[in-house]
Structure 1
Amino acid sequence: MYDFDGDFETVYTGETDVRLTGLIDKYNGDVNLPQWTGKCANVNGASDGTKFASYIEPNDTLLFFRKSLCRAARM
């Protein structure tokens, strides 16, 4: 159904900022998705749902990246 063979995500390790641990740095080697422009194209700092940012505040906006939607959405 979904052809994701060869897709890869680069994630932050937390070495420079523990709050970013597990969040996406790049998808297939780029911070932007080719299908979108503007805010929707950027996956930097998004989560695939396995781990969200640490030390968040109640009104913080989280980015959720879903491969099947080919975009990062604010929640």
Structure 2
Amino acid sequence: MNFSITAFPETKIVGVALRTDNSPACLQKLGAHWQRFFAENILEKIPNKTSHEIYAVYTDYDSDRPVGSEGLLGRGRKKCNPCRR
């Protein structure tokens, strides 16, 4: 597999988060999360968008921990003061 590292300017990502893990059941949760993202039209609810790109961000991953990581589906946003939860 070929990959590259690309640097982007700092961007605030706003969207809906999901706690993930490495279990088989989590794959179903991820699919449902994407469905919710589009069914609830989350993209159009994000004000001050920087672009029409969708970001899928996975953070806090640690292969030594069974608890998994945090996932976020969203869009870049110009300002985030304050962001609603």
Q: TM-score range by the shorter chain?
A: under 0.3
- The structure showing larger relative contact order (alpha-carbon pairs under 8 Å, at least 6 residues apart) is 2
User: Greater share of helix residues, 1 or 2?
Assistant: 2
Taking structure 2 as the reference length, the TM-score comes to 0.24
